[in-house]
Amino acid sequence: MKTLYKISQYSGWVLLLFMVLYFVTGYGRLWNAMDPVLAKTIHEKILPIPTIIAIVAHISFRLKIIFSRKNEPPHHNELSLREEK
């Protein structure tokens, strides 16, 4: 359980990095702030698959906790990253 928690945390940081790269390359393509061919290659060919993997890794732990609960009332902070006791 602790390993899944750590994977969720680290993949969140990786996902943040990928989102920043998406914004930078999108801005670079739109306003020619960087080489348009390089920006298009990074934006369309390099980033999508790692981003999808990071999203799945980031949400899988919390979804496992949410869907494994039976007969418990829902909590208002269902998607928080606090570790379950």
Q: Token digits for 76?
A: 């208002």
In a domain, 76, yes or no: no
Decide if 83 is inside a domain: no
Considering the chain, what percentage of its residues have pLDDT values greater than 90? 49
Q: Dmax of the chain from CA atoms?
A: 55
What domain count does the chain have? 1
Give the Cα separation of 53 and 47 in Å (integer): 10
Close Cβ partners of 29 (under 8 Å, ≥ 6 residues apart): 36, 39, 40, 43
pLDDT tens track for 51-81:
999 999 899 887 887 787 766 666 655 555 5
pLDDT of residue 5 exceeding 70: yes
Contact 81, 8 (CB under 8 A): yes
Residue 38 lies in a domain: yes
Residue 84 has pLDDT above 90, yes or no: no
pTM recorded for the entire structure: 0.71
